[in-house]
């Protein structure tokens, strides 16, 4: 039981600190030495170490063949040109640190964080509050659609073009303002929030903004 717990703790520590591959082999080698295993175990261990730790050998004999097999079987997901454009339109910020496994909190807290302009705050306090009051999540799910008056209000008040510049007919809001609007809408109706969010993120507004013609 103690052996299993020790192995589990070592594995968790290596995984938590995102230890490189060689560290895993070193840990395994120490384990094998500690238990004085026979040469019959060391031979396959040495072969595996060469295959996996020597990059060119690993790529040529393992990685490339594995990817070729996956591609030949059609297991790789296909994405359209539009989806590629949408994916390339974005970038990472502090979330890159958060998902790294070892976030640098000093770097995260040192980042300048945006604030809402008076116009953006006013939009949240007025237009967003109004459409929230107009929407009942229960009725939306019951009728499988947003009420017509909500659709009209969203279009009239440019909810679908929040990130589009004012000179092009949008509201010219920041990504932070867009996030705050969605956050508020989601407290009343997830369908309402998603309906407004998609056109302004990976939908028409984002694509038009980055790739649209005059």
The predicted-structure confidence for 63-115, as pLDDT tens digits, reads as follows 888 888 888 888 877 888 877 777 776 677 777 788 877 788 888 888 888 88
Token pair in block for residue 108? 């995260």
Shortest CA distance to 193 belongs to which of 184, 202, 205, 206?
A: 184
Quick one: three-class SS letters along 6-35? HHHHHHHHHHHCCCCHHHHHHHHHHHHHHC
Q: What is the mean pLDDT of the chain?
A: 84
Q: Is pTM beyond 0.75 here? A: no
> What pLDDT is recorded for position 1?
63
Q: Quote the CA–CA distance of 169 and 130 in Å, as a whole number.
A: 21
Residue 173 structure tokens: 């809001």
Q: How many helices (H) and strands (E) does the chain have?
A: 15, 0
**Tokens 């994916």 -> residue:** 87
- Per-residue pLDDT at 90: 67
What is the enclosing helix (H) or strand (E) of 87?
Answer: helix 81-89
Is it the case that residue 181 has pLDDT exceeding 90? yes
Least confident of 52-56, 65-69, 199-203: 199-203
User: 74: left (phi > 0), else alpha (psi -120 to 50), else beta?
Assistant: left
Task: Tell which residue, 213, 203, 191, 205, has the closest CA to residue 82.
Answer: 203
- Report d(CA 128, CA 125) in Å as an integer: 6
pLDDT value, residue 128: 92
pLDDT recorded at residue 209: 76
Contact criterion met (CB below 8 Å) for 51 and 57: yes
Cα 173–chain centre separation? 22
Measured CA to CA, the distance from residue 124 to residue 157 in angstroms comes to 12
For residue 93, count other CB atoms closer than 10 A to its CB: 11
Q: Thinking of the domain 118-211, which architecture would CATH place it in?
A: Orthogonal Bundle (1.10)
Could you give the residue range(s) of every CATH 1.10.540.10 domain in the chain? 118-211
Q: Which of 62-76, 146-160, 198-212 is the least confident region?
A: 198-212
User: Are the C-beta atoms of 125 and 108 separated by less than 8 Å?
Assistant: no
Token pair for 26:
């070193």
């Amino acid at each position: 039981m103690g052996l299993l717990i020790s192995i589990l703790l070592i594995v968790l520590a290596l995984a938590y600190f995102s230890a490189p591959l060689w560290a895993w082999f070193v840990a395994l080698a120490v384990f094998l030495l500690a238990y004085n295993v026979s040469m019959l175990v060391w031979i396959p261990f040495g072969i595996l170490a060469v295959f996996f730790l020597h990059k060119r050998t690993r790529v040529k004999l393992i990685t490339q063949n594995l990817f070729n097999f996956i591609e030949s079987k059609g297991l790789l997901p296909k994405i359209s040109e539009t989806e590629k454009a949408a994916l390339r339109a974005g970038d990472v910020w502090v979330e890159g640190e958060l998902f790294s496994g070892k976030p640098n909190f000093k770097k995260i807290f040192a980042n300048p964080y945006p604030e809402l302009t008076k116009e953006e705050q006013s939009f949240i306090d007025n237009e967003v509050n109004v459409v929230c009051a107009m929407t009942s999540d229960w009725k939306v799910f019951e009728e499988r659609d947003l009420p017509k008056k909500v659709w009209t209000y969203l279009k009239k008040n440019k909810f679908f073009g929040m990130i589009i510049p004012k000179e092009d007919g949008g509201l010219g809001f920041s990504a932070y303002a867009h996030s705050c609007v969605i956050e508020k809408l989601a407290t009343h109706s997830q369908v309402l929030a998603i309906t407004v969010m998609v056109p302004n993120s990976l939908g028409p507004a984002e694509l038009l903004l980055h790739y649209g013609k005059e």
